[in-house]
């Protein structure tokens, strides 16, 4: 199965306590594809200006990602500059220049329209609606969003939810969207508005899947050497949907594994600036980390529990 991914293709300048990087590849579509392409074919739709170093994404094409849906336009690529605090949990945006992304209208190549899985990266909900209108009955539609759209285009976002199977969203944004501080209730609110499944991303604290199967937790992978958390959420989505695409099924057991692949991919995003950690990453390394997740979370319950004497 192929995944259609629509999102930003950006240049980021990032400073963290552990280093800095200037004008390196970023954006939701790039992080998503860097992770998902290790597991599944991906078709990318986005836009770049004439300043974009296309060769920086060659490794994605070599891995089978179809980048023919990335439109090249005259002008500047979407640029974001940010700085992270000591604990990497809060960041300041130093500069945002939309460039050619400012009037981005996703153009879905005909050959992409039959994609079975669709990932609507964090872009204007109007554009997310447009993309869905142009794909033929996909099996699975997943969507990300952020506070900017929750505040600015709430109605369009809520009407989009009716067409979405899985919403991936940060914990604070899930609360904001639902107007509900309790995460269980917030996810129920979201599920009542469309998505059968809600993935709540909690950064270093992991992620929670709410579905008909109940609640499933995956922790964040404990890292000793962190570099830059930018893109971890999109890499999570890439691992999650990449796994489901590879598995070819969306049942409870596959969804659990997809969460673990998501968290593993999110951790790789944090280990280096930009998508650098994904360049040489192998499927074997990912499989090894997934086994580590199992070791970090599994426990047995003896049939005969010892009694209090």
Sites of contact with its own copies (CB under 8 A)? 38-40, 86-87, 181-185, 202, 205-206, 208, 214-217, 219, 222-224, 226, 246-248, 253, 256-257, 259-260, 283, 287, 290-291, 294-301, 305-308
**CA 137/CA 71 separation, integer angstroms:** 24
Closer by beta carbon to its own copies, 26 or else 206: 206
Q: How far is the CB of 202 from its own copies (least distance, A)?
A: 7
Q: How far is the CB of 93 from its own copies (least distance, A)?
A: 22
Q: How far is the CB of 300 from its own copies (least distance, A)?
A: 6
Closer by beta carbon to its own copies, 133 or else 225: 225
Closer by beta carbon to its own copies, 208 or else 241: 208
Closer by beta carbon to its own copies, 114 or else 297: 297
Helices (H), 162-282: 171-178, 183-192, 232-247, 252-271, 276-279
Closer by beta carbon to its own copies, 133 or else 181: 181
Q: First-to-last CA distance in the chain? A: 56
Q: How far is the CB of 74 from its own copies (least distance, A)?
A: 36
Strands 42-48 and 66-72: parallel
Instruction: Map residue 62 onto helix, strand or coil.
Output: helix
Is 45:106 a contact under the CB 8 Å cutoff?
A: yes
Closer by beta carbon to its own copies, 161 or else 260: 260
Is 112:125 a contact under the CB 8 Å cutoff?
A: no
Question: Residue 272 gets which letter from DSSP?
Answer: S
**CA 233/CA 56 separation, integer angstroms:** 21
Q: How far is the CB of 214 from its own copies (least distance, A)?
A: 7
Could you tell me which of 88, 72, 69, 74 has the C-alpha nearest to residue 29? Answer: 69
Q: How far is the CB of 72 from its own copies (least distance, A)?
A: 28
**CA 35/CA 14 separation, integer angstroms:** 20
């Amino acid at each position: 199965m192929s995944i259609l991914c629509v999102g930003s293709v950006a240049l980021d300048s990032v400073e963290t306590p552990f280093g800095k990087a200037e004008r390196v590849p970023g954006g939701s579509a790039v992080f998503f594809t860097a992770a998902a392409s290790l597991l599944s074919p991906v078709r990318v739709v986005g836009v770049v200006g004439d300043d974009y170093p296309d060769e920086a994404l060659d490794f994605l094409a070599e891995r089978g990602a179809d980048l023919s849906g990335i439109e090249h336009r005259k002008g500047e690529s979407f640029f974001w500059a940010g700085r992270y605090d000591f604990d990497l949990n809060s960041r300041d945006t130093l500069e945002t220049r939309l460039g050619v992304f400012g009037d981005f209208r996703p153009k879905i190549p005909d050959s992409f329209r039959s994609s079975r899985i669709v990932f609507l990266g964090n872009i204007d909900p109007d554009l997310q609606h447009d993309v869905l209108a142009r794909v033929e009955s996909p099996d699975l539609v997943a969507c990300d969003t952020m506070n900017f759209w929750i505040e600015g285009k709430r109605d369009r976002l809520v009407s989009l939810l009716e067409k979405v199977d899985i919403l991936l969203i940060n914990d604070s944004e899930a609360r904001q969207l639902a107007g509900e501080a309790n995460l269980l209730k917030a996810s129920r609110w979201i599920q009542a508005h469309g998505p059968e499944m809600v993935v709540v991303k909690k950064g270093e604290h992991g992620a929670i899947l709410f579905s008909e199967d109940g609640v499933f937790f995956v922790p964040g992978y404990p890292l000793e050497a962190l570099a830059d958390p930018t893109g971890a959420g999109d890499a999570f989505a890439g691992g999650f949907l990449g796994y489901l695409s590879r598995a070819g099924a969306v049942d409870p057991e596959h969804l659990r594994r997809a969460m673990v692949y998501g968290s593993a991919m999110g951790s790789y995003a944090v280990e280096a600036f930009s998508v650098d950690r994904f360049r040489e990453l192998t499927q074997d390394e990912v499989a090894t980390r997934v086994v580590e997740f199992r070791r970090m979370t599994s426990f047995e319950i003896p049939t005969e529990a010892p009694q209090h004497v």
